[in-house]
Amino acid sequence: MLESTFKFPHQTAFYKGKVRDVYTIEDKWMVMFVSDRISAFDVVLPRPIPYKGQVLNQIAAIMLDATKDIVPNWVKSVPLPNATVGLKCDTFPVEMVVRGNLTGHAWRTYKSGKRELCGVALPEGLKENDYFPSPIITPTTKAHEGHDEDISREEIIAQGLVSKEDYEKLEKYTLALFERGRELAAKRGLILVDTKYEFGKIGDTIYLIDEIHTPDSSRYFYAEGYEAKQKAGEPQKQLSKEFVREWLMENGFQGKEGQQVPEMTDAFIDSVSNRYIELFENITGQQFKKEDVSPADAEQKILDTLKSL
């Protein structure tokens, strides 16, 4: 699915994100379609990736179910392979990024000589991909367009983006979710390196929203060979959509002004689709089953689900 064009009864809002189409019903429910669109460097690439939406939606459903004892989440039903129906929450305007290893943006910051990220002190003497002594939270602002921006705990509270009481709860939930995510990953021979969580609120209750522990929101390493690669100073074998970013960079695209997205050939599209399916099977331990649903059947299933809520 590249994009959806539904009009549901009692629909009160519609939002088209980089990869998701989100319908609000009666200002109470949300219907989220995870499309096959793919983004990198904050740019939506010109061609969709078959079954990517199904991969992300189903991984998220499995992971949300596996963490619902830690914090309630927004999901009420997963009626379609690429769609979820759940609660509409008032979203906190920050993303809780948590990091167990020095990699990605954190490594680039560290490599530049800085020893602080989002107000968090970074210890001396670390190499790329080393474990932090304990996981760190490096929040970002939530941008509907353009780049999310680093922000510190102190700035979030001082600016009134999140109350001190709520932010302390978000930190507690974030660390507990990350610990559970690492436990689940370890069972699959993986290391959950870093990820992000988004939260919302209804009344006084905080809910975990959006997707969690997917290859689009998280980075995984293979546990086998990790120590040997660290000692040898070799790159770690990753399980994330980093391979798409690497392909773009190799072909001269980093989302900068004036740069053109390289041609996405049929062979490249197929390879990315197959890689996402491989990610699903490695992360979940389940065999992936390709499911195709017609727009008419999809609409009816959503309508039936909404009636049952």
For 170, the enclosing helix (H) or strand (E) is: helix 164-187
Q: Which of 69, 85, 73, 74 is nearest to 34 (CA)?
A: 85
How does pLDDT run across 65-119, given as a tens digit for each residue? 999 999 999 999 999 999 999 999 999 999 999 999 999 899 999 999 999 999 9
Extract the tokens encoding 266. Answer: 């049929």
Both tokens of 187, joined, read: 């069972």
Tell me the three state secondary structure of residue 277.
helix
- Predicted local confidence at residue 2, as pLDDT: 65
State the pLDDT at residue 144: 57
pLDDT of residue 100: 98
Q: Could you tell me whether strands 190-202 and 120-121 are parallel, antiparallel, or unpaired per DSSP bridges?
A: unpaired
| pLDDT given at position 293 | 86
3-state secondary structure at position 28: coil
- Picking from 239, 213, 280, 247, the residue whose alpha carbon sits closest to that of residue 40 is 247
DSSP-based three-state secondary structure for 247: helix
- Residue 84 to residue 302: CA distance in whole angstroms: 9
Report CA Rg, the chain: 19
Single pTM value for the model:
0.91
Element (H, E) at 52: helix 52-65
Residues of the chain with pLDDT under 70: 1-3, 143-147
Residue the block writes with tokens 């436990």: 183
Give every CB contact of residue 119 below 8 A, 6+ residues apart in sequence. 152, 153, 154, 155
Tell me the per-residue pLDDT of 181-207, one tens digit each, with 9 for 90 and over.
999 999 999 999 999 999 999 999 999
Q: What are phi and psi of 170, to 5 degrees?
A: -60, -40
Total length of the chain: 309
Distance of alpha carbon 54 from alpha carbon 14, whole angstroms: 20
